[in-house]
Chains A and B, each alone.
Chain A
Amino acid sequence: MSFVKKCLVPRLIQYFLVTFLGLTTAFFLPRFLPLDPVEQRIAQYQAFGVYIPPEQLEEIMNTLRQLYGLQGTLWEQYGIFWRRLFMGDFGPSLARYPTPVIQLIVQSIPWTIGLLLLTTLFAWVVAILMGGVAGYFRNRWTEILDGIVMVMRPIPYYIMALLCLIVFAYIFPIFPLSGGVGIGREVSFGFDTIVSIVKHGALPALTLLVVGIAWQFQSMKLIVQGVRSESYVWYARAGGVRERKIIFHYVIRNAMLPMITQLGLQLGTIFSGALVTEMVFAYPGVGWILYDAVMKGDYNLIMGIMCISVVAVTTSILFLDLVYPIFDPRVRYR
C-alpha cells in the first residue's frame, strides 16, 4: 500500500505534469512564432494564382482559423484545444479533406508501434548480451566487434536507412523499395499478407536494429567494463562462483540498470529515428504520413502527430520507470 503512495503517486503526478507541459508547448509553439499559418496559407493559394474576392477573403480566413483551431482569444483557443484533445479530435486533415486527422493517425500507428516495439526490444536484448560479453572478455572477437561498432554507431538513422536502401534494394534487389505491403493488397490475416509485411518491414527493421544495437552495445560495454572491476565481482570469483553465473547474474544484471534508465532518455530519439526511417522507406507508419503532411502543408495533421508523439514518449518513459523496480530490488523495498 505504501508503495503505491510513496512511489506511484508522485511519479504519476510528474507524468501528467510533463505531458501537460509538453502538450501545452505543442499548443503554444505555433502561436508564438511570428508567422500566421492562415495568412501563409492564403499567400500560398494566391501564389498559385487562385483568385479570392476580397468579400470572401474574410470568410475564408475565418473558416481556416476554425479549422486550425486559431479562432478567438488565446484562452479560448486553449480551452478548445483541450476539449478537442479529450475527444480525440484534431480536426480534419487538410490534405485529405475531410478525413479526420485522428483516423489517419490511428491507421498508421500500428505500423509504427509494431516496428518500434519489435526492433527496440530485440536490439536492446541483443546489445545487452553482446555488450555484456564484449565488456567482460577481451579477445580478438570483441576487438573486431568493437571496431565494427565504432564505425556504425555515429551514423544517424537517416543515413543508415539510405545505405540499407541502396545496398539491399538497389544493388542487390532482395527487398522491395517501399511500402508496407504489396500495392493493392488487402490487409488480411492470411499467410501471404504476413510474408509481404515481413518483406516490406525487413529493411526498416534492419536499419533500426543496426543503429539501435550499435548504440546500446557501446554503452553496455563501457558499463560492464566498469562493473567488472567492482569489488563484489572479485569477491564472487574468490568465493568460487562459476564464471558463467558471474557474467550473467552479477555483472550483466547490474549493468542493465543504468541501461534501462538510458533507454528511457533515448526513447525520444529512437522514436524520431523510427519516423525518419519510415520516411525513407515510405513505410506506412506515422513517419510517412508526417512526411506527406509536411510536403502538403497539412497543418492539422502535423499538430495531431505532435500531440500524439508527446503522449507516446512520456507514456513509454513512465512505463519504463514503473517497470524498473522489477529489475532493481533496491528500489523495490523502499
Chain B
Amino acid sequence: MTGAGPAETMSAQADDTRVKRRSGLDRLGAILAAIAAAGLAFQPFSLFRANRIVAAKPVGILSALPPLEAWLLVAVVVAACAVLLLRTPPALRLVVSALTLAVLAVAVGRSGMFLTPSSNTYARVAPGGAFWIVAFAFSIALADASVRLKMSPLARLALLAFTGGALWMLLWSGAWDSLSILREYTNRADVFWREARVHLLLAIGSLAGAAVVGIPLGILCFRVQPIRATLLNSLNILQTIPSMALFGLLIAPLAWVAAHVPGASAVGIAGIGIAPAFVALFAYSLLPMVSNTVAGLESVPPQVRDAARGMGMTARQRFFEVDMPLAFPVILTGIRIVLVQNLGLAVLAGLIGGGGFGTFVFQGISQTATDLVLLGALPTVALAFAAAIVLDALVEIANPTPNRSAAA
C-alpha cells in the first residue's frame, strides 16, 4: 500500500505542464524557428570554390538559386517556422519538418547545378552554414515531434527506412551530383564502395567475434565469482589504452605471427592493414559484451529464479527458458553499444592502412580537402546513427518490461 500521495503529486505536475502547453507559443518551436530564421538570413546557403583546394566564396540564399526557387525556399522555411512556432499537433510538426528537410535537400542540389558553370569540372559547390543550420533546426523539430508522438519501435524503423529510401532516391536521381562531396565520390566510386565494405567488415565482424567469445565469458563470470573481478578489471584496463596506440601496438606481434605461423599470412594475417584493426576492435568490444551479459543475468529477479526452481525446472531449463530470455534485452543493449562504438572506431583503421572510411578522413585531413573528410565522416555518422536507431528499436521490442531498459 503506497497510498495516493505520489500518484496525486504526478498528476498535479502533469496538470501544471498541460496548463502551460495550452497557452501561448511552443517554447522549443520558438527557439528552433529563431535559429532557422537567423541561419537563413545571416549565413551563406552555398559555398563556391573555383577548385578543390582554394578558399570558399560564400553565396547567400538569394544568389544561390534562381530567384523564383530562392523565394519559394524562403517561403517554405518561413511557413514551416510558423508551424513550429504555434502549438500544433505533433503529427503535423513531424510531417512539416520532414517535408522541409526534403525541400532543403532538393534545393541544395539545385543550387549546385545553378552555381556550377556548365562544362566546368574544377568548380566546387558545397552546402553553406544556412543549409546546415536550417537542417539542424528541423532535424531537432523532427526528433521532438517523434518523441512527443511516442512512436512505437516499428514506426521508428519505418521512419528510418523511409528516410534512407529518400536519401537513396536523391543520390540515385543525380539531384546532388553537382555538389562537391559527390564530385569527390564520383572520382573514387570504386574505392568508396571497397572501403565501405571494409568498414562494415571491421565493425560487424569484430562485433560478431566479440559476441561469440564475450557472451560465454559473461556467463562464466556470472557463475564463477572469483573470475569476474579479475576478468572485468583486465578488460577495463584494456579499454584505457588509446585506440590509436592499440592499433599500432598490434602491428609488430601480428607481423611476427604472419612470418612465423604457417598459413597465417594465407588467411590474411599481416602486420599492417586490416588484421591489427580487426583485433583491436575485437579487444575493445569484449568489455561491453562481457559486462552486459553479467548485468543481464544479474537483472533476473531472484524470485523468478526461485519460482523456476520451485516448479521443478532443471538447471538447463532454467538457463534457457528463464535466465537467457530475461537477460537478452540487456545483452542486446551491449551489442548496440559495441556496434555504434565500432562503427566510429573503425575510422582509425585508416591511420594504419587498415582501410574503411577512415582512409578518406585522414587523406582529406592531410590534403586539407574538406570534401574528402566529409566523404569519410558523413557515411560513418549515418551508419552509426542508423545502427543506434535499429538496435534501440530491437532492444525495445525484445524488452518485455519497458521500465527495465532504463536500469540497463
A and B pair up: no
Give the interface of B toward A (CB within 8 A).
Answer: none
